[in-house]
Every structure is written in C-alpha cells, then in structure tokens.
Amino acid sequence: MIHTLYCDRGRCMQELLPVKAEDIINARLVENMRIEYKSVWDEFIKGSVTNTICAFANDLYNMNGGYIILGVDAPQGAPILPPKGIDPSNIERIQKEIRGSCKKNLDPEYQPIISPTIYLDKHIIILYVPAGDNKPYSAWDEQKKKRVFFVRQGPETIEAKNDILRQLMEQTAHTPFDDRRNHESTLHDISPMLVKRFLYEVNSDLLNAKPPIEDIELYKALRIISTYGEVPLPKNVGLLFFNEHPEEFFRGAAFFISQFGDDAGGNLIEEKRFEGPVDAVIRNVTKYLDDLTNMVQLRKLKHKAAVERAVAYPYEALEEAITNAGYHRGYDNSEANRVYLYPDRIEIISYPGPVPGVTLQHLATNSPVPPFPARNRRIGEFLKELKLAEMRGTGIPKIRRTMSQNGSPDPKFDFDETRSYFRVTLPAHPRYVLVHALRESSYLWSIGEKQSAIDKLTTAFQQQPGSGAICSQLIQFLYELGKRQMADETFFSFHRTTLKTESEQPYIKYAKILISENNKEKAKEIILLLPEEDYWSDPVDTAILFHRLKMHDEAHTIFYRIYAENEQNFIYLSNFAQTKIAIAQKLIRKHNPQMTTIDRLEDEAIDLLRRAISVSEDRTALGWCWYYLGHLYRWRKYRKGLVEEAYKLALDYCPQETRFKDSYKKAKSTGKNDQ
C-alpha cells in the first residue's frame, strides 16, 4: 500500500493506492496486462486513457481492474527508467482533464483514483482503476459517433464485440462473491487490529499518515466496506481477511487435515482443523504440513564430493497448493478444504472445482491456462500483496518446477465432470516414502507385530523394487522369521532390477546374515555379485566383508584406496591391519616366501594398530589391538619386554579373555626372542 501526498500551488491532494508506486511501475505485484504506460499527455492520449479506464472498469476477466501510469515510456512493455516524467506545472491541469473526460465520456459515470507522485526524482501520475460497481461501462467514440464498450485483452484495450460483448453483458449481472456486501455483518465485525497488522506487513504508507487516518477511512481505502443506503457494511473479502472467525460467516472457510497410516485411508492417525483469517490459515496449514513431513534427506552421491539434498515435499510447492485452495475455492460453498496426508502423497482438495473454461488438458501440460475470469479477484489481490500468491497463471508451473527440482514425481491436478471439487496431488519424494516405510516397519517389529512389519516392507518394495534400503531390511526381517527362501527370492529380485538406489546394501546385509549363519560359501557367492562400481558406496563395510570371507587381496585393494579419508576411523584401521596380517601369514606358508614383502606388511600392520589404539576408547577393541600387536612384536622379534607389555595391556582391557591370558603367560615363560 502507498499513501501518496502531492502538494502543488499550496494545495495538498491525497490519493490512496492499494500497492506501492515502485511495485506498480516495475510490475512486481501486478501483472503486466493490468498496467498501461503513457510517456506524454495530449488530446490523443486523453482519448486513449479514457478508453482504457473504461476497459479496466469493465474488468472482463475479474482481475480487479488495472493501472495507467503517465510519464513513463515502455515501448516493449518494460518501463524505461528513470521515467521521462511530467512537468509539475501541468499536474493539476492533467488531473482536471482526466476527471472531466471521465465525467463527460463514460456511462455510467466512473472516476479512477488519481495519485500524483515522485519516482526517481521525476513527477508522474498513477491512475488506479479498480473494477466498477455499475458495469457495463461504455465510452463515447468521437470518430464513430457512438458509445463503445471497451475491455482489456491481454495488454491491449479493444472494443468488445460479438462473443466478448456477450460475455461482458453476462458478467455484469454477477458481482463476484468476495466483493459483495455481507448483510449479516456490521462494521464491528472488522478488526482494526487485523487491518493495521496487514498494512504493517505490506509496508503501507497508510500507517504513517499525519494525522492518523481513521479506521473507517482505512476500510474505504482497502475497499473492504460498501455503503448500503447510508449504512456501511463489510464486504465478504473484508470478513475473510479481517475477522478473527470468518468461519462463522462462511462455513467453508477452514481446512481439515487427516493423516492416514496406509494408502487406503483406513488407518486414521490424526485429524486437525484450522480456522481463522484466510492468510493466517494458509500459513498455519503450510507450516504444519512442512513440520510434519519435511525432514531433510541427505544422500552421498557415488564418486562425488557433493551430497544430494531432498525433502519430502518442497515448501514452495506446499505453499502454492495450499494458497491455491484458499484463493480459488468458492466461499459460498459450505464444504471446508480437505488435506489428506498418506505415506506416499498429499492430496489437497478445495470446493467447488475450477471456473468454466479450464479443462483437464490445461492442467495436464505446461501450457498456460487461458485468462478465464477469476472467481475471487479481491482475495487474490490481498494474497499477492502478502506475497502468498503468484502472478496470474504462474502457480501451477511453480508447483511443477519446484517438485522437479526436488527430484519428486510429477504433481497431478484433477476435477470431476460436474466441477464439484479441485484436487492437487503431491507425490512424496521417493526417499521420504522409503524412510517412512523403514520407520513404520521398525516400529511394528519392535512392538511384536512382525508380520505387519514385513507386509509394510513388502508393499514398499513392490512400489520401489530398486530400493536397496527397503530390500535389505526386508531380507533381515524375513530371515529372522525363518522365511529364508523368501529372503533369497527378495534378494535376487533386487539383483535383477536395473535401476537401483543404495544398491550395495542388500549384498552387504545378506552376506553378513549368511556369515552369521556360518554359511560363508553362500555369502561369498552373494558378495561376488556386487558390481565393482558399488564397492565405493560403502567401501569400509565391503572391505571388511571381503576380509571376513578370506578374500584378503580384494579387501586390501579397497582399504588401500580409502586410507586418506579414514585415518581416524578405528574400525577401518583395525580391520586393515588384520587384512595385512592375514596376507603376510598366507605368504609365509608359500614355498620360498618373499620375506621383504612379509616384513613390510607386518610393519604396516603395526603402524595401523598403533593409530587405531590412539583413536579408540572402547576397552574390548583396545584389548584386541594390543593382542594383535603382541603377535606382531613376537613375529618381528621385538624385545621380550615389549611383547609382554602388549599382551599384558590386552589382558588388562579384557581380563576374562582366555586367549589373552594364554599369550601373556607364554610370553613371560619363553626366553629372549625365541618365541
């Protein structure tokens, strides 16, 4: 909002604009098609401006009129700044000529709001032309010597003929619901506090006027009241935004959110109702859904330092879909908006469906929706000023764009043949569906509902057959219930799938389970099926598995390549040391062993174990490290005292370990370096 004060020849003129001048000039909160620029003022321009005032007042597409800016040139539709400006000595004369032309040529009479102002040190005049209350308006055409009905078609003012004229005449019989007087309310139903909070939020100059503007004048400036006889009554839009409980006047002015635990909607977890001013409800519903669903999912990308970041539902898509439901619904409909939250999607439903002319084909593609008359022009006006709504026709493309940027499946938009509802479906990001399934199944398993846990994972696996995380969890649960054949079938089903995520997990999980069952041959078959490129998704775990399966050369290759990023990783260091020890022992058993290689491997194992000891505080882990160091000291023929000390420290950390006792006892009883 802007309150413009212009002084000329000692006289002050005050005019009220619903949007700041700089936002109008730069088309920030107003669509380009609602703005017309005129660089000069002359007799020809006067007639053109009068015709455009007529067109904006007719407001064919229910966009709440428009603006005419005098003193700014825009040959290609974009303003040239700084503006050309108007000679300040002509400001008062131009205003009189505008008012005189409107009084003489428009029928019914209509006067725009005229606001002289200074922008970038240049004097300009902004005409605000809201939709008129007495449509249709016509203007006298001097050349044709007759009255002509003008309308806006895109960025142009044209004569209304044939179908367009018929559409204009039909529209004049219908005042949009949000702009009607509400005869069941009084001026006291408008909250001055909410009005002033709105003006503060949109940075309106109306709050800074000296002396302060009375409440009723603020209401008039915002056009949220209308006189019935001599009695001022709130308009519906005023009650929707500036009454604490608009649902008392409009039963549909609310949101119901229902959260379900399954896709069928049979397991209702929670239901919540949101009421209040339209903008507050939109914000509260969006925040509630975002807080409820949007844990950030991070995933390391293969062979890259980057991390993939995704959320269940992009905030921008949620906000746009919720705003759409609050903006375009019919408030004369008693059915509240509905939000259904399922494990894999959110459905946002408003009532009724879209205005006639919008087709499913418009919604199924990226093609722009034609400029059919909007249902709630005034609601849209306020939401745009609050930066909750986008420019006309940009909401659905924004939802598509933000969903795509998040890596989410495409949104869906639909309505029924009778246009009784409009539904936006936002599919959850696949990783959110995955995390939700894992979390829910783990909970079911923990409370003893093990078959239900398996059923949930099975359903999730059918939906995402390439999800390694779901597959590995399902294999584990199946194996623990003794369903080994099903576990095997699940693994090979995943193995045959072409497109995979977390692709290494089922191989590692299944191999570990088989090792725990002492079925190392089968475990080896499984781990050998893991593509080499997937070794590096979880290289430490993969290398440890190779080591446990006595595939030491493969393990050593992986351990060696990832040393730099694991210098402080105890598990890595201790297992790499054990792998070097195992390779050295294998070489010793060969005919004509290469002692230089063996010595190097054992020395490197000693360095790794010492580093592991320096980074660990786990007593059992430290005990085993000292135990292996004792062996290495003995093999490398270190002095007897060091060997004894290593075994002694191992025993101190794990006094119940029999092998540590035996090794320490043997070290003490043997002679110097003859162990």
CA distance linking residue 554 with residue 542, whole number of Å? 10
CA distance linking residue 510 with residue 468, whole number of Å? 11
Over residues 484-511, the mean pLDDT reads 93
Is the distance from CB of 293 to CB of 432 less than 8 angstroms?
yes
Question: Which of 354-363, 539-548, 634-643, 646-655 is predicted with the least confidence, judged by mean pLDDT?
Answer: 354-363
Where is 7: in which H helix or E strand? strand 2-8
Question: Which of 205-209, 221-225, 595-599 is predicted with the least confidence, judged by mean pLDDT?
Answer: 205-209
Is the distance from CB of 575 to CB of 559 less than 8 angstroms?
yes
Angle at 90 (CA atoms; ends 89, 95), nearest 5 degrees: 130
What pLDDT score does 323 carry?
95
> How does pLDDT run across 137-181, given as a tens digit for each residue?
999 998 889 999 999 998 899 999 998 998 888 776 677 899 988
Is the distance from CB of 152 to CB of 131 less than 8 angstroms?
no
* CATH class entry, domain 254-359+391-428: alpha beta
CA distances from 154 to 34, 168, 179, 481, 533 (A): 8, 15, 23, 67, 56
What pLDDT score does 9 carry?
34
What pLDDT score does 477 carry?
95
Residue 299: pLDDT band with limits 50, 70, 90: very low
CA distance linking residue 54 with residue 16, whole number of Å? 20
Question: Which of 10-24, 230-244, 474-488, 513-527 is predicted with the least confidence, judged by mean pLDDT?
Answer: 10-24
> Can you tell me which residue has the tokens 């603020």?
218
Q: What share of the chain is helix, strand, coil (3-state, %, to 5)?
A: 50, 15, 35
> How does pLDDT run across 8-22, given as a tens digit for each residue?
333 333 356 767 788
CA distance linking residue 549 with residue 555, whole number of Å? 10
Within 8 A by CB and 6+ apart from 669, the residues are none
CA distances from 247 to 236, 280, 288, 329, 643 (A): 12, 13, 20, 14, 83
Average pLDDT of the chain to the nearest whole number: 88
Over residues 94-101, the mean pLDDT reads 95
What pLDDT score does 32 carry?
82
What pLDDT score does 173 carry?
64
Does residue 372 register a pLDDT over 80? no
Q: From the CB of residue 657, how many other CB atoms can be counted at a distance below 10 Å?
A: 16
- Angle in degrees, 0-180, between the axes of helices 640-653 and 658-669, rounded to the nearest 10: 160
Identify the bridge partners of residue 345 per DSSP, sorted by sequence position: 342, 427
What pLDDT score does 302 carry?
44
Question: What tokens appear for 394 in the block?
Answer: 């940009």
Q: Is 309 helix (H, G, I), strand (E, B) or coil?
A: strand
Angle at 23 (CA atoms; ends 91, 225), nearest 5 degrees: 80
> How does pLDDT run across 284-298, given as a tens digit for each residue?
999 999 988 875 444
β-pair type (254-260, 268-275): antiparallel
User: Does 2-174 match 254-359+391-428 in CATH topology?
Assistant: no
> How does pLDDT run across 562-573, given as a tens digit for each residue?
999 999 999 999
What pLDDT score does 309 carry?
66
User: For the chain, what are the domain ranges?
Assistant: 2-174, 187-244, 254-359+391-428
Does residue 300 register a pLDDT over 50? no
Question: What tokens appear for 528 in the block?
Answer: 């050998």
Is the distance from CB of 85 to CB of 134 less than 8 angstroms?
no
Q: From the CB of residue 489, how many other CB atoms can be counted at a distance below 10 Å?
A: 13
Identify the bridge partners of residue 567 per DSSP, sorted by sequence position: none
Over residues 395-417, the mean pLDDT reads 91
Does residue 303 register a pLDDT over 50? no
Domain 2-174 = CATH 3.20.170.30: no
Does residue 443 register a pLDDT over 60? yes
CA distance linking residue 423 with residue 414, whole number of Å? 5
